[in-house]
Structure 1
Amino acid sequence: MRKEQMVMDVQDVPKLGKWLTLSLQHLFAMFGATILVPFLTGMSQGVALVSSAIGTIAYLLITRGRVPAYLGSSFAFIAPIIAVTGSSGIPGAMVGSFLAGLVYGFVALFIRLLGLRWLMKILPPIVVGPVIIVIGLGLASVAIDMAMYDPEGNYSTTHFTVALVTLAITIIASIFFKGFFGLIPILFGIIGGYIFAFTQGVVNTAGVAAEWTKLTSSQSIGEFFGAFFKVPDFVVPFADYNPFTVFSWEIALLMVPIAVVTIAEHIGDQMVLSKVVGRDFLQKPGLHRSIAGDGVATIIASFLGGPPNTTYGENIGVLAITRVFSVFVIGGAAVLALFFGFTGIVVAAIESIPGAVMGGVSILLFGVIASSGLRMLIDNQVDLGDKRNLIISSVILVIGIGGAFVQLSDNLQIAGMALSAIIGVTLNLVLPGKENGYGNGKMFEVNKEIKNEEPAA
């Protein structure tokens, strides 16, 4: 990309008024998806916003202010978090998130010391693509249950109608809205679905009303600010729980393998971001720094009670449209997210969103996740006519979606996505013809460049 095509370069600082507008765009782009993850996993939306903000700032510092990327809640961890919280509560999920963050750190260290070749051997498209499909389709029942049933678990035509209207609004926004508005269909879907749900009487506004009453009944400026700002429900290790007593190998086996998949997604995001901005971020500041940034952001989230963080494709889309690459704009979006996370009435409004609305959005969103795995196979021209590729993808899909698990002991099992990822990686390493797993697309070219640049292991 030529310099003159940029509106604002990576290190440029915008004027205050423009800065606020541009940062709000990035906030809106990540907002819908980021609040959906804690909604599905039973975490605090306020904590998710705060952890997303602090994680993004940490990421910008670790990458030395050279990579304009915003971090939000990761969808890949939804299913394992739900599984872990079912047995060990939010503290168990936080321990698992911390372990996943450590995996990022170890991978970043190995990349710094050994280069990329070893990682490309473990994670070719024939493994990562089907696992991403499993992540999306494995969540399908979660979306449908939210769409069809009321909070008491009874089938509700009203709730299903709300979900379908929300889905329709999201689809219309995705197809017909252009430019920046085309990047935030989830936000449009949630807002439109919320309004329709309100007309159907399925929105509980008690929390919003309570916060509004506190604000309007304030007798002084100090009292007003005390009512306006509210500390989110953080879940802090050693204060709210002892991570050493919460830890179990089942938590580790559920959460850690997913980190391997999200690292592969991160590499893809960095490749796209490099193309958009016109710089090779894999070389400078280096993939090891950006992966470490993701890991630190995830560890920070685990210390606060928020979901693991990852780079967001929606925000990369904002960069592509606006041609504003300033890390100060990204940092401004993080500051705004931090502000909203501590704003009581905003958090109350988010928490009042009905499950049917989130279910309607999720029907599309989880399908998009699955389709992105399919797209990875297509973009990389992976030949499924090749027996090796066909075997690996087939085994991953059936084991992952079918819900297979290995019971190691009474309290320890490897299940679902984690098991499919482990088996996929193993098959790729032991079956002959590894080159076929890269296809002939982008990842093949990257692997070829790595082979030319690095000595054989």
Structure 2
Amino acid sequence: MASETKEIGVREIPRYDKWLVFSLQHLFAMFGATILVPYLVGLSPAVALLSSGLGTIAYLLITRGQIPAYLGSSFAFIAPILAASAMSGPEGAMVGSFLAGIVYGLVALLIKTSGVGWVLRILPPIVVGPVIIVIGLGLAGVAIDMAMNDPAAGTYSTTHFLVALITLTITILATMFFKGFFSLVPIMFGIIGGYITAFLFGLVDYSPVQEAKWFALPDVLVPFVTYTPVFSKEIVFIMVPIAVVTIAEHIGDQMVLSKVVGKNFIKTPGLHRSLLGDGAATIIASLIGGPPNTTYGENIGVLAITRVFSVFVIAGAAVLAITFAFIGKFAALITTIPTAVMGGVSILLFGVIASSGLRMLIDNEINIGLKRNLIISSVILVIGIGGAFIQVTEQVQIAGMALATIIGMILHQILPEKEVSYGKKAMFEAE
């Protein structure tokens, strides 16, 4: 497709007969992962689509229409949302998401006033890479549980596991052998193929679709309207530290996006604007009951292949996502996807997240053979995946990914020979 499509600049408006097609590509690219997150944490997929569209539009406005980035549901917040929801219900998770968005805004303000260098100094690749690995492998148990067990009985099911393995196989084949645009949406093909398989095995219940209306308001959670928000120390310690991880991911995405488009987005419109846009998108999601948002690598891949960089195309995808959120039968259809199907695609997707952490270490030429790097990465991995926690009070814990990130940052500051932990440091510096 790249060879057939003339490059379209960031502020160019494509021909109307192609605009819809280009926007649909971005919608499909983000769709599988975006609806998977709310599916895993018990939130509404329709609200996730709504918050994704609204968040992306807010991002484009805040970055002055200069960065062609689409925002979707963040995987980094899956475990924290599950923990917060178990403690205070989904309403508690929304409060935590709101606070995480505020952290984005505060960091954006600091970067605006003091520059970006300090952020990059405390979050080198040797810390960020292993933490991303923890994000993926920390969710491995969730994927396997969904793949192997009958959700109704809570016990092992050969049928469900077989459906999950077939779904995984289809996803792998789509990833390996599909070309062009189709290579960007293997998760979608996996879900569709797995859904058909689950239907043949009798695991699909269509009654929610039959009962749903064509047009319906998404099941939003609005503070002071549908619930009264309650702030607690527990929620703060569970959700807010994850913002450090996602900020690091955001910086990486901006670096890659800058290379793809050929513009330094860290410099213009500035990392502070892109972070503020990301934080605003997360705050918007928290105000309507959606999962936190983040920039999506899948959509950066679409940009790289199509060479269509227009922010108007990104905005079109956002409008389409909002539209789909109000189609009741579509939202109901999403809820009929069996857990085994989602478990199958999650096995690969969570592994890919972990592998992207390895890629960060490789791309930055981090030498794990050096004692300093070996110590930092090893400690982060075992603490993050092993489930270590610090009991602050009877109700408050600092656990998992957050604890691993904090300890990794501390080790980076106190161990000697800091320079070896940055690798190709120029990749992490603004021009």
Length-normalised TM-score, structure 2: 0.97
1:162-220, Cα deviation, whole Å (9 max, x unpaired): 10000000000000001110000000000110011000000111111223xxxxxxxxx
2:195 partner amino acid: Y
Letter aligned with residue 120 of structure 1: L
Question: How far apart, in 2, do the equivalents of 1:375 and 1:15 lie?
Answer: 37
Deviation per residue, 1:313-355 (Å, 9 max, x gap): 1101111111111101000000000000010010011111010
CA distance in 2, matches of 1:391, 1:170: 35
- 1:371-400 CA deviation, whole Å, 9 max, x = no partner? 111111111111111111111111111111
* 1:38-437 aligned within 5 A: 38-152=38-152, 153-211=154-212, 227-243=213-229, 246-437=230-421
Secondary structure class of the residue paired with 2:155: coil
Q: Highest CA radius of gyration, 1 or 2? A: 1
- Deviation above 3 Å: which 4+ runs of structure 1? none
Superposition deviation, residue 15 in structure 1: 2.5
CA separation in 2, counterparts of 1:349 and 1:116? 44
- Is the Cα contact below 8 Å between 2:364 and 2:427 reproduced in 1? no
Kept in 1, the 8 Å contact 2:68–2:311? The answer is yes
Structure 1 residue 228 displacement after superposition: 2.0
In structure 2, distance between residues paired with 1:63 and 1:74: 20
Residues 255 and 427 in structure 2, CA contact (< 8 A), matched pair in contact too? no
Letter in 2 for 1:280: N
The secondary structure found in structure 2 opposite 1:406 is: strand
CA deviations over 1:82-131 (Å, ceiling 9, x no partner)? 11111111011101101110111111111111111110111000100111
Percent of pairs identical after alignment?
70
Return the letter of the residue paired with 1:116: V
- SS at the partner of 2:72? strand
**Per-residue deviation, residues 29-65 of structure 1 (Å, max 9, x unmatched):** 0000000000000000000000000000000000000
Alpha-carbon distance in 2 for matches of 1:33, 1:104: 22
SS for the counterpart of 1:372 is helix
Unaligned runs of 5+ in 1: 212-226
> Aligned AA for 1:307?
P
> Comparing 124-133 with 251-260, which one deviates more in the overlay?
251-260
Out of 380-389 and 178-187, give the one that drifted further: 380-389
For residue 150 of structure 2, give the secondary structure of its aligned residue in structure 1: coil
Summarize deviations over 1:400-442 as a string: whole Å, max 9, x none.
Answer: 1110111111111111111111111111112222111101x2x
Pairwise CA RMSD: 1.3
Offset, 1:6? 5.0
Structure 2 partner of 1:29: 29
Q: What CA distance in whole angstroms lies between the structure 2 residues aligned with 1:29 and 1:299? A: 23
Q: Are 2:429 and 1:445 equivalent residues in the alignment?
A: no
Residue 409 of structure 1 aligns to a residue in which SS? Answer: coil
**CA–CA separation in structure 2 for the residues paired with 1:342 and 1:112:** 38
Query: Distance between the aligned counterparts of 2:205 and 2:221, measured in 1?
Result: 25
Contact 2:253-2:297 at 8 Å conserved across structures: yes
Q: How far off is 1:261 after superposition?
A: 1.1
| Distance of 1:340 and 1:176 partners within structure 2 | 29
Q: Which runs of 5+ in 2 are unaligned?
A: none
> What's the secondary structure of 1:228's corresponding residue?
coil
In 2, the alpha carbon distance for the partners of 1:240 and 1:208 equals 25
One-letter code aligned to 2:310? S
